[in-house]
Amino acid sequence: MATAVFFHAHPDDESIATGGTMARLAAEGHRVVLVTATAGELGEVPEGFLEPGEDLASRRAKELAEACRILGVARHVTLGFGDSGMAGEPSNDRPGSFWRTDVDEAATVLAELLREEHADVVSAYDEHGGYGHPDHIQVHRVGLRAAEMAGTPRVFMATIDRTYVQDLTTRGEEFGMEIPDELPDVSELGVEAGRITAEIDVTPYLEQKRRAMEAHASQISETSFFLSMPPEAFVAMWGLEWFIEVGASPGGGRRASLLDGA
Digit-coded pLDDT (tens) for 167-214: 887 776 666 666 666 556 777 889 999 999 999 999 999 999 999 999
**3-class secondary-structure state, position 138:** helix
CATH superfamily of 3-243: LmbE-like (3.40.50.10320)
Report the pLDDT averaged over residues 11-35: 98
pLDDT digits (tens, 9 = 90+) for 53-96: 999 999 999 999 999 999 999 999 999 999 998 888 889 989 89
Nearest-angstrom CA–CA distance, 139 and 99: 9
Q: What pLDDT is attached to residue 163?
A: 92
Q: Model-level pTM?
A: 0.94
Residue 224: pLDDT band (50, 70, 90) is: confident
Residues contacting residue 152 through CB under 8 Å, at least 6 positions apart: 5, 114, 119, 120, 121, 122, 146
Res 262 pLDDT > 50: no
